[in-house]
Amino acid sequence: MTPLGTVLFIAGFSKVLCICDRNNGPVGEPECVRLNGYNGKQWATCLTDDYIQSNSFGTIKCEDRQTKYCYYQCMVELHGMNDGLVTQDCSCNELTKHNISIQTDLPSWCLSPSLDDCRWIGECLQKRYRCTGYLGKSDAMEFTQKVCQAYSFHYQRFSLEGGKWLNGVRKCLQSKLVPFLRPWMKATCNTINLRALQSQYQCLNVPGIGLPSICNTTSEDLWSLFWTLHEIMEDNAINYYSLFNLLTAILSCEKHMYKPDTLELMKYQVNQKRFFSNKFEPTEYDKYDISKKVTKFISREMKWQETGISCYAFVEGLPVQTMTNNVIWNVTIIITSKSKYDFNDQKFVPQNLSEEVRQILERIQRKDIPNTTNRLTFEYFYVCESFNCSQPLKSEEIYNQKTSAESIATAVTYLAYVGGIVILIIIAGVAIKRFKKKNRLSQNRNQTNFFVITRVKI
């Protein structure tokens, strides 16, 4: 098959067969057609020229430029292919043509949406498939809807390039799901979730032709989107995978691997006790489950919900099963001040995350944080300067590191002694006492994000 993007005509656009009424449609009307370049018949749907252009990011238009409606073939809408073998999900014949019924309980705009209307998920797709409550509130559809709303509600807070990228992402995510409203599509909630999850990485990386990629978007924009979504989405496995897809897309760019001043990183090893001697075969759900347990436990112990700190944990790599049948996980935790990145937050003030990390370390070393409820034991603690953690800062270094504030206080004390200015000695002494207690991990006192990696045993 030839990719659609390479099949261009003199006008710069691929052609779409125009058969349905150019002025009246009707929108959503299906037809079984045979088109040049394809090996077999396929479904085509009468849709608006506006939708076709939006769905293809301007690369496809109705052949007749005076028309409002034309047929849009399934192989292009569903797979982006302009020729080749017709796949089973698009294939039709004279028998199947008479065995489909048009969806009449949906408004016509649902079948040919503008892709920038955030009502489409709730009023169209969910109404057709009733997936609310299936393995969570709305599953992967919720992520699509929340991304759309993040742009609609907060577009003025993103940079120019970030806004273009996010607008493209929301249209791309929705366009991947619109074909499920075609009358020949027989989908389940699980099918929709799978397609939504599979399309996320592609849409997040390069949402469309001529649009900025995720690597051309600022870290500020990306972390703002991540934490804003994190705070408003339901806590379930599908949403966890969706956020992890966003995080993976962010970290696919080399420039986003480095820690900005507003980001801190921590890593743990967590030991979770098991009572069974069988070989442990981890699933994606197991990764979500251990991440959720670690997040909830530490957040509760540190009272982060009350102080305005948000955290997200994820598992790196495969766990290791010990001789005693426990399982050791490498867990990464990212924490942030809600006031910095969460666009929905209106009440919290910035927090000193370096001090929070120090308190976690102290409690782990005092064994104040073993999670006996979930049989978790926290071991090996690292603080990282980048997401690849090439030079981790170990616990003893965190305690022994001399901060810039403490060094300044010491210098002032020395100068005061030399000059005989007793009052400065007193001031410096007070400063030393104060900053020793808060021995900071970096020069930026108001660091906002902290990345923690933990090893967990099961």
- In this predicted model, what pLDDT tens digit does every residue of 120-169 receive, in sequence order? 998 999 888 887 654 444 477 889 999 999 999 999 999 999 999 999 99
Say what angle helices 140-154 and 237-251 make with each other, to 10 degrees: 60
Q: What is the pLDDT of residues 352-387, one digit of tens each?
A: 888 888 888 888 777 776 666 667 777 777 888 778
* Integer-rounded Cα radius of gyration of the chain: 27
* Listed residue (355, 406, 401, 398) closest to 380, CA to CA: 398
The SS3 of residue 347 is coil
40, 88 contact by CB (below 8 A): no
Ranges under pLDDT 50 in the chain: 1-14, 18, 134-138, 402-428, 430-448, 450, 452-458
Beta bridge partners of 272: 327
113, 50 contact by CB (below 8 A): no
Query: Does the N-terminal peptide bond of residue 207 adopt cis geometry, omega within 30 degrees of 0?
Result: no
pLDDT computed for residue 104 by the predictor: 66
Torsion of CA 203, 204, 206, 207, to 10 degrees: 50
pLDDT computed for residue 457 by the predictor: 44
Torsion of CA 444, 446, 447, 449, to 10 degrees: 180
Rounded-to-integer distance, Cα 168 and Cα 164, Å: 6
The one-letter amino acid code at 319 reads: P
Long-range contacts, stretch 76-81, CB < 8 angstroms, 24+ apart: 76/4, 76/14, 76/16, 77/45, 77/178, 77/179, 78/179, 80/3, 80/4, 80/5, 81/1, 81/2, 81/3, 81/4
- Residue whose structure tokens are 């990011």: 57
Rounded-to-integer distance, Cα 268 and Cα 380, Å: 6
* Listed residue (409, 416, 458, 399) closest to 433, CA to CA: 409
Q: What is the pTM of this model?
A: 0.79
450, 264 contact by CB (below 8 A): yes
Rounded-to-integer distance, Cα 319 and Cα 328, Å: 5
Phi, psi of 267 (to 5 degrees): -130, 140
Contacts of 192 (CB under 8 A, 6+ apart): 125, 129, 131, 139, 140, 141, 177, 180
Query: H-type helices in 328-456, by residue range?
Result: 338-341, 353-365, 395-400, 404-419, 422-437
Query: How many other β-carbons are positioned within 10 Å of the β-carbon of residue 368?
Result: 11
pLDDT computed for residue 76 by the predictor: 92
